[in-house]
C-alpha cells in the first residue's frame, strides 16, 4: 500500500511483498514435508510430514480433531515457531522469522483495554515496518483507513470507545480490522469466531466474506465449525489426529458471494456431513478414501 493512495485504495489486494511479483504463479504458501515436535526429542510430535499448497488469493479452511496440530501449523506459517523438519515458503521466500506480511486474529480478540478501538486497530502499524515509518509521516491517512475498515464491519461510531464498552462480537470485528490494517497478503485466522454465539458468528462470516472480496488476501482459517469452513472457504483441508497431516481435501463448489441461505441447501449440508465423517474417522485413527477426481484441486500437495 502506498501512503499516497488516500487510504481506501489500500483496502485492495497488494502490499510490499507483492511488488515486483507480476506473473508470480507459484503457490503463495508452500508447506513441504513439515514436522514439528515440541520440547525436544522426547517431546510432543504435533505435525508429521505435512505438505500443502495454497494459491495466492485462495481462502483455505483447515479442520481436524482437537489437538491435531492446526494451531501449530498456523505458528509455523507465520514464523512464530520454526519447524523441526521440512520447509515453509511464503511468497517464494523460506519463512525464517515472524512474517510481517501476515495479519492474524485468534479466538480471543485480546484488545489492549486502555486503548480506544481505533488505537487498537492501528496497533500493528506501530510495530510492523515499513508502516511504522510511514505512520509517522502520514498518520491521518492510516487513521482514515482504520475508520473505513471499522465502518466495513459495522463499527462506525465506536472508534473512540474502549474495548470493555463493546460486546464480544464487536471486539472480534475490531480484531479482524486490526488483522487487516497493514494490508496483509496473508490472513491467518485461528478460531476467530469460536467464542461467539451462532447469530453473531454467522453475521461475521458474511462480513469477513465481504472484506475478503475487497481486499483479496490469501486466507488460512482454522476452525472446528464445519459450516463455517464450507461457507467461507474455497477449499477445506482435513487433518488426521495428532501427529497431524493433511489426509483429505474438498473443493467448495458454491459461487460467491454466498448468502447464509446456502447453509440450508442439500449440497451444502452434504459437504458438511462428508467433512464430519472424515473427522470422525480421523479421530478413530482411520483415513477415509481420498476425494474422487472431480473433487481434487491443482493445489493439492
Ligand X SMILES: Nc1ncnc2c1ncn2[C@@H]1O[C@H](COP(=O)(O)OP(=O)(O)OP(=O)(O)O)[C@@H](O)[C@H]1O
Residue 67 in contact with ligand X, rule: CB under 6 A? yes
Contact 50/244 with Cβ under 8 angstroms?
yes
The three grid cell numbers given for residue 249, joined into one nine-digit string? 481435501
Least spacing, CB of residue 206 vs ligand X, in Å:
24
Binder of ligand X out of 6, 38, 96, 210 (CB under 6 A): 38
Residue 72 in contact with ligand X, rule: CB under 6 A? yes
Binder of ligand X out of 71, 200, 209, 263 (CB under 6 A): 71
Residue 101 in contact with ligand X, rule: CB under 6 A? no
Binder of ligand X out of 7, 15, 27, 69 (CB under 6 A): 69
Residue 107 in contact with ligand X, rule: CB under 6 A? no
Name which of 150 and 188 has its Cβ closer to ligand X: 188
Q: What is the DSSP string of 267-280?
A: HHHHHHHHHHHHHH
The three grid cell numbers given for residue 45, joined into one nine-digit string? 510430535
Residue 66 in contact with ligand X, rule: CB under 6 A? yes
Q: How far does CA 259 lie from the centroid of its chain?
A: 20
Residue showing cell 511468497: 91
The Cα–Cα gap between 280 and 188 comes to 25
Beta strands in 2-123 (DSSP E): 29-38, 44-54, 59-63, 85-90, 93-94, 102-106
Binder of ligand X out of 34, 52, 68, 272 (CB under 6 A): 68
Least spacing, CB of residue 33 vs ligand X, in Å:
18
Given the rule CB under 6 A, which of 63-71, 163-171, 178-186, 195-203 is the region that contacts ligand X? Answer: 63-71
Name which of 135 and 236 has its Cβ closer to ligand X: 236
Angstrom distances, CA of residue 111 to CA of 104, 126, 164, 174, 200: 13, 15, 9, 9, 19
Bridge pairing between strands 44-54 and 29-38: antiparallel
Residues in the chain, overall count: 301
Site string for ligand X, 232-271 (x = CB under 6 A): ----------x-----------------------------
Applying CB under 6 A, the residues found at the interface with ligand X are 38-39, 44, 46, 66-72, 242
Amino acid at each position: 500500500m502506498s501512503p499516497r493512495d488516500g487510504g481506501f485504495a489500500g483496502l485492495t489486494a497488494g502490499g510490499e511483498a507483492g511488488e515486483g511479483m507480476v506473473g508470480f504463479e507459484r503457490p503463495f504458501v508452500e508447506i513441504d514435508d513439515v514436522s514439528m515436535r515440541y520440547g525436544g526429542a522426547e517431546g510432543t510430535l504435533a505435525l508429521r510430514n505435512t505438505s500443502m499448497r495454497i494459491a495466492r488469493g485462495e481462502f483455505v479452511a483447515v479442520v481436524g480433531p482437537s489437538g491435531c496440530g492446526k494451531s501449530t501449523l498456523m505458528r509455523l506459517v507465520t514464523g512464530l515457531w520454526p519447524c523441526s523438519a521440512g520447509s515453509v515458503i511464503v511468497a517464494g521466500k523460506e519463512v525464517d522469522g515472524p512474517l510481517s506480511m501476515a495479519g492474524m486474529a485468534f479466538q480471543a480478540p485480546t484488545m489492549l483495554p486502555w486503548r480506544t478501538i481505533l488505537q487498537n486497530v492501528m496497533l500493528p502499524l506501530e510495530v510492523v515496518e515499513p508502516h511504522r515509518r510511514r505512520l509517522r509521516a502520514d498518520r491521518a491517512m492510516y487513521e482514515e483507513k482504520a475508520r473505513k475498515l471499522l465502518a466495513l464491519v459495522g463499527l462506525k461510531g465506536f472508534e473512540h470507545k474502549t474495548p470493555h464498552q463493546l460486546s464480544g462480537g464487536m471486539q472480534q470485528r475490531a480484531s479482524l480490522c486490526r488483522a487487516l490494517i497493514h494490508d496483509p497478503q496473508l490472513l491467518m485466522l485461528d478460531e476467530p469466531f469460536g467464542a461467539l454465539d451462532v447469530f453473531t458468528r454467522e453475521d461475521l462470516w458474511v462480513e469477513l466474506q465481504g472484506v475478503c472480496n475487497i481486499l483479496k488476501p490469501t486466507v488460512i482459517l482454522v476452525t472446528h465449525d464445519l459450516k463455517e469452513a464450507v461457507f467461507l472457504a474455497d477449499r477445506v483441508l482435513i487433518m488426521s489426529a495428532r501427529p497431524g497431516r493433511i489426509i483429505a481435501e474438498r473443493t467448495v463448489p458454491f459461487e460467491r458471494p454466498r448468502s447464509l441461505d446456502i447453509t440450508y441447501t442439500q449440497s451444502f449440508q452434504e459437504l458438511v456431513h462428508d467433512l464430519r465423517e472424515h473427522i470422525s474417522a480421523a479421530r478413530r485413527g482411520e483415513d477415509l478414501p481420498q476425494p474422487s477426481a472431480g473433487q481434487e484441486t491443482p493445489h493439492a500437495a
